[in-house]
Amino acid sequence: MKRFTFFNATSLTLGFAFLYVPILILVIYSFNASRLVTVWAGFSTKWYGELLQNQQFLDAAWVTLKVGLISSSIATVLGTIAALVLVRGGKFRGRTLFSGMIYAPLVMPEVITGLSLLLLFIAAGVDRGVFTIVLAHATFSMCYVSVVVSSRLISFDQSIEEAAYDLGCTPFDAFKSVTLPIIAPAVISGWLLAFTLSLDDLVIASFTTGPAATTLPIKIYSAVRLGVSPEINALSTLLIGIVTIGVITASLVTKRAALHRKRQEELAAQNH
Amino acid sequence: MSADIFAPWEIPKEIPLIRFENVTKRFGDFIAVDNLTLDIYEREFFALLGASGCGKTTLMRMLAGFESPTEGRITLAGEDIAPVPANKRPVNMMFQSYALFPHLTVADNIAFGLKRSDMPASEIDGRVDEMLSMVQLRPFAKRKPHQISGGQRQRVALARSLAKNPKVLLLDEPLAALDKKLRQETQFELMDIQEKLGTTFMIVTHDQEEAMTVASRVAVMNGGQIKQIATPDAIYERPNSSYVADFIGEVNLMNGKITSCTSKSCKIAWEGGTITAQPTNKLEKGTEVRFAVRPEKISIAKTKPKSGNAVEGKVLDIAYLGNISTYYVETTTGQTIKAQIANARRLSRRSFTWEDPVWLSWSDTAGIVLTE
């Protein structure tokens, strides 16, 4: 094991400070009693109380939640199907192109994704609102789901599916009663990832939204332009909390499933 | 052959259960199975033996329905199975990796196929229980596959594949993951179960001992073709080619030419002298042949034996294997011949050691004359 040297400790501290000090300051100031954001005037939770009275914020939160739930569910279904085709489909014409196109949106600038979707919606004459944001979010987050699910499928013993066919399953039955239960942790963590991505997206949402639907990030952004209020700090803190819980849960689900399996395998080895 | 010995392949009118008729399977340019014809009879324990890549697994997967033949036809009980998908075939497979469903208990794994058959739900529990008793796993019914040992998993896989009472059970290297002791025990268990159920078993293996132990007939495969199909003892004692002789067990192969031959006895001239042997049929003078003799059929002595074939040489190397020792003897003409002696005595009282001059000898009927 490497020694924990002074140099290592310093770089670790600086690295984490760079990442998390701004967020920490935001969280601390959300408990500030003063209306002035930069002046500390004692601990208070009153901004959280006021937040709950602010109908505009609550509406935006509801829109965000709705968009997140629907878009991540669509993304999970599509992403899982895409992963299945890529991993299980064998060689087919255009496989490389297809897999490239699945992963491309991961590196595509959000502005371009947003703009192109906006142009598409205008060309198609679709009224922009919750529906279009849902479509846009499902489009870009399904790539993430597909990456997560296909990495699980690659490590999956294909003869398990063959055994299911051999024992009388139709392909759909085999997927439902064998494949899906086994890859479920990956599908769930894919869903959580998609939900989190949808929750904190600003760029794509602001391109594809209409006047009727304002998501929380859009609301916050426009509020900040009029000046940062402690209320925004409180709201951001809540968002950070939700996103953190989502990400941690996603990784815990995967990790616990793996750990559980490993522990029981060790147990079985001892019993033998 | 007496009537109580199981040998349906000897009966001319017997209709085989499984027929591969001129089956060819190509993967791109690679020919996995090459114009192969094979009959397997009911109640047989049939072994496909060969090195990896010889096409044996492909042959089995075509029967299971996971691959379809490029050319030719496979029939099961007289019917072409090409239009029947894998999930509808009365054939079940035990996978090399066992392929147990990790999210289901042992009992649910065994019930999996039954729930998808036309068996009434009320009878399923009884059948599962019966299968669990057969493989002695009743106490483990509620466990998940990762909570039991490798040997137990192997038995769950066996019980699961037999639960639907298939016409044919396919076993793909079923014992490869077990250690040697457990593997030997399991071989006998497999034979017992097969005998009790009367199901036709077809096993794919690269382990010749396993094939010889369990099978009623063995097919030796190479390059997508069957080199020989015969009972284990015939494969060992009467191989039809030097490939089979060399593949199964150890053998000394001596290249030579026929100098004289009748249907009973022939003389072969080779680098080490002249061999007298019994040919399978009369061979022309001058025919190039290979004489194959197993090391355990060669005896080793200090003085020249009075009868039989004899070669003089000196001990080059001794491989001590515990129960037997293999002596590598270099003949005076420079060939190396292997001779195997059972270690009936303790090692300290061994009669021969390195560099000792010895005589190797074997009887006229010990070996076999091969033209292929």
Which DSSP string do the residues of A205-260 spell out, in sequence order? HHHH--TT---HHHHHHHHHHT---HHHHHHHHHHHHHHHHHHHHHHHHHHHHHHH
Q: Categorize the per-residue pLDDT at B2 as very low, low, confident or very high, splitting at 50, 70 and 90.
A: very low
- Interface touch B93/A170, C-beta < 8 Å: no
Contact A229, A57 (CB under 8 A): no
Residue of B nearest to A261 (CA): B146
Does the distance separating the beta carbons of B103 and A182 come in below 8 Å? yes
For residue A77, what pLDDT is reported? 96
Two tokens, residue A136: 């846009």
Residues of chain B with a CB closer than 8 angstroms to some CB in chain A: 64-66, 85-88, 91-93, 95-97, 99-103, 112-113, 116-117, 144, 146-152, 160-161, 164
B286: closest CA of chain A, how far (Å): 54
Query: Within chain A, which residues score under 70 in pLDDT?
Result: 1-3, 264-272
Chain B CB within 8 Å of residue A178 CB? yes
Interface test mutation site (partner B, options A152, A166, A187, A271, max chain B beta carbons within 10 A): A166
CA distance B4 to chain A (A): 35
Which tokens in the block code for residue A40? 């500390």
Please check the confidence at residue B121 and state whether its pLDDT lies above 70.
Answer: yes
CB within 8 Å: A267 and B147: yes
Query: How far, in Å, CA of B165 to CA of B158, rounded?
Result: 11
Q: What is the DSSP letter of B146?
A: G
Contact check, Cβ <8 Å, B116/A173? yes
Interface predicted TM-score (ipTM) of this complex, two decimals: 0.83
Search chain A and give the residue with CA nearest B113: A167
Q: Which residue of A has its CA nearest to B104?
A: A178
* pLDDT computed for residue B64 by the predictor: 94
Q: Does A155 touch chain B (CB under 8 A)?
A: no
Question: Per-residue confidence at B348, pLDDT binned at 50, 70, 90?
Answer: low
Nearest to B19 by CA among B67, B111, B82, B70: B82
A115 touches chain B (CB under 8 A): no
**Residue A206, both tokens:** 């602001």
Model pLDDT, residue A265? 65
What 3-state class would DSSP assign to B52? Answer: coil
Q: Answer whether residue B1 shows pLDDT above 70.
A: no
Nearest CA in chain B to A167: B113
Residue B156 has pLDDT above 90, yes or no: yes
A142-200 pLDDT, tens digit each:
999 999 999 889 888 889 999 999 999 999 999 999 999 999 989 998 998 899 889 88
Give the closest residue to B137 by CA, choosing from B124, B125, B146, B149.
B149
**Alpha carbon distance A28, A48 (integer Å):** 13
Nearest to B263 by CA among B278, B250, B274: B278
Which chain A residues are closer than 8 Å to B67 by Cβ?
none
Q: Which residues of B touch A165 (CB under 8 A)?
A: 65-66, 85-87
DSSP B15: P
Q: What is the pLDDT of residue B191?
A: 92
pLDDT > 80? residue B226: yes
Nearest Cα of chain A lies from the Cα of B115 at a distance, in angstroms, of: 9
Which domains occur in chain A, in start order?
A: 54-271 (1.10.3720.10)
**Which pLDDT belongs to residue A269?**
59
Q: How far is A211 from A63, CA to CA, in rounded Å? A: 13
| Cα gap A220→A167, rounded to integer Å | 56
User: What is the tens place of the pLDDT at every residue in B230-270?
Assistant: 999 999 999 999 999 999 888 999 999 999 888 888 999 98
pLDDT, mean over chain B: 90
Which of A27-36, B110-119, B337-346 is most confident?
Answer: B110-119
C-alpha–C-alpha distance, residues B262 and B365, integer Å = 14
For the sheet containing B79-80, what is the strand order?
B30-40, B18-27, B71-76, B79-80
Give the distance from residue B131's alpha carbon to the nearest chain A alpha carbon, in angstroms: 15
With beta carbons under 8 A apart, name residues in chain B contacting A170.
87
- Point out the residue among A169, A264, A271 whose CB comes nearest to the CB of B87: A169
CB contact under 8 A, A162 and B66: yes
- pLDDT given for residue A122 in this prediction: 93
In terms of CATH architecture, what is B8-245?
3-Layer(aba) Sandwich (3.40)
pLDDT digits (tens, 9 = 90+) for B40-82: 999 999 999 998 889 999 999 999 999 999 999 999 998 999 9
Which of B103, B144, B149 is the closest to A271 by Cβ?
B149
Which of chain A's residues have a Cβ under 8 Å away from the Cβ of B109? none
* Token pair 């669990």: residue: B132
Flag if A169 and B116 touch (Cβ within 8 Å).
yes
Answer whether A157 touches B (CB < 8 Å): yes
Please indicate if any CB of chain B lies within 8 Å of the CB of A266.
no
Domain ranges of chain B: 8-245, 250-370
DSSP conformational letter for A179 = I
Cα–Cα distance list, B272 to A10, A164, B73, B251, B336 (Å): 80, 59, 49, 17, 10
CB contact under 8 A, A167 and B160: yes
Round to whole Å and give the CA distance between B26 and B8. Answer: 31
Chain B touched by A162 (CB under 8 Å): yes
- Say if the Cβ atoms of A159 and B95 lie within 8 Å: yes
Contacts of B259 (CB under 8 A, 6+ apart): B267, B268, B269, B274, B285
Q: What is the percent of chain B with per-residue pLDDT over 90, rounded to a whole number?
A: 65
Of B87, B99, B149, the CB nearest to A160: B99
Q: How many CB pairs under 8 A join A and B?
A: 80
pTM for the complete prediction? 0.81
Which residues in B lie closer than 8 A to residue A169 (C-beta atoms)? 87, 116
In the prediction, which pLDDT does A267 show? 66
* The pLDDT of residue A2: 60
Judging by beta carbons within 10 Å of its beta carbon (0-12, 13-18, 19+), is residue B129 exposed, middle or buried?
Answer: middle
pLDDT of residue B349: 64
Q: Does A272 touch chain B (CB under 8 A)?
A: yes
Residue of B nearest to A260 (CA): B146
Determine whether domain B250-370 maps to CATH 2.40.50.140.
yes
pLDDT of residue B333: 86
Beta-bridge partners for B220:
B49, B228
Q: Does A268 touch chain B (CB under 8 A)?
A: yes
